Amino acid sequence: MSRLLQLLCVSTVNTRILGGSSVATAGIWPWMASLQKNGNHMCGGTLVSWVLSAAHCFQSIGTSGLVVSLGRQSQEGLNPNAVSRTVAQIINHPNYNPSTFDNDISLLRLSSTVEFNNFIRTTGSDLISETLFCVSTVPLPSPQNLMEVEVPVVGNRQCNCDYGVGRITDNMICAGLREGGRDSCQGDSGGPMVSKQNSRWIQSGVVSFGRGCALPNFPGVYARVSRYQTWINSQISTNQPGFLTFRSTGTDGDLSVTCAGLPAPPTTIAPTTTGQTTTTTAPTTTTTTAPKTTTIAPTTTAKRECL
């Protein structure tokens, strides 16, 4: 598979995005969701008709007291554009592995529909070989405003060498600077990682886990959304997200990566399969990427998992 260097973003109403900047304008990431348990932010999510998030956020949590807040610019003060919905159903991927975080993806069905506006819209997702990601979040302890950061995609061969061969599966995608310094972190789980294709933002990943936060040679790891087209559309019966095919161009430097125990790369590379996009009008101004949300009072269930 060839590679294209392009912009990806991760956004979240989180406490811990590292190396990023505050999002000054409301509505920049209109699909960003803050998942709150009993009034405290616990994880991020993406509005894609239902809400797409990480399975590890909901291992021991039911729908009672769980609220999805959309259109938030901050975790404190007034949020005049915010709309909240309770959660009617949580569906974790049936093959989610809490030990390895493989298939770390979840869908939340809202109690009622949400009216779209300039501050609340859906996004989609796509599979990309190598890009720059933008991550946004709300940092702690202050300010509590939405933030974002750009990070480059790291190929799966390199990421396997970083974490230990076999640790990174085809269901995962990695992103981060080799020197560290930029990353999502605890509390950002479930948030979106997005990239811009032409004038459209598409989602590539869901914040999952990492070794610490923003450490050199340990990029953040995300669930690769494009692997879940069949499962997502099997759960959402109406207003299904759409999926599109994307093939990057250029030379794939990850194919030359080698380390002890890493199998040789395949001699032929299959074309990139489909990635998810929403059937509803997607915002053209911004997009989110695996956001890491933050909570005013962080909880143990609301963090990106660390190894």
- Domain assignment present for 172: yes
- Domain assignment present for 4: no
Three-state DSSP class for 307? coil
Structure confidence at residue 174 (pLDDT)? 94
**Integer Rg of the chain from CA:** 17
Structure confidence at residue 269 (pLDDT)? 53
Return the sign of the alpha-carbon dihedral for residues 217, 223, 226, 227. Answer: positive
Q: Assign residue 88 the CATH number of its domain.
A: 2.40.10.10
- Domain assignment present for 296: no
Structure confidence at residue 289 (pLDDT)? 35
By annotation, the residues acting in catalysis are: 56, 104, 189
- Domain assignment present for 173: yes
Instruction: Please give, one letter per residue, the 3-state secondary structure of 67-126.
Output: EEEECCCECCCCCCCCEEEEEEEEEECCCCECCCCECCCEEEEECCCCCCCCCCCCCEEC
Structure confidence at residue 272 (pLDDT)? 45
CA distances from 92 to 28, 48, 57 (A): 28, 16, 10
Domain limits for position 65 = 21-256
Structure confidence at residue 277 (pLDDT)? 46
H-type alpha helices, the chain: 156-163, 229-235
- Domain assignment present for 292: no
Structure confidence at residue 239 (pLDDT)? 85
Residue 152 CA to residue 125 CA, distance in Å, equals 17
Three-state DSSP class for 148? strand
Q: Please choose, from the candidates 170, 244, 233, 167, the residue with its C-alpha nearest in 3D space to the C-alpha of residue 203.
A: 244
Structure confidence at residue 259 (pLDDT)? 97
Strand 200-210 versus strand 305-306 pairing type: parallel
Q: Based on the structure, what is the number of domains in the chain?
A: 1
H-type alpha helices, 141-264: 156-163, 229-235
Structure confidence at residue 162 (pLDDT)? 97
Structure confidence at residue 199 (pLDDT)? 75
Q: List 154's β-bridge partners, or say none.
A: 174
- Domain assignment present for 1: no
Structure confidence at residue 81 (pLDDT)? 76
Q: List 293's β-bridge partners, or say none.
A: none
Structure confidence at residue 306 (pLDDT)? 55
- Domain assignment present for 159: yes
Q: Which residues of the chain have pLDDT under 50?
A: 1-9, 11-21, 23-24, 124-143, 270-275, 277-303
Return the sign of the alpha-carbon dihedral for residues 87, 118, 52, 115. Answer: positive
- Domain assignment present for 141: yes
Structure confidence at residue 8 (pLDDT)? 45
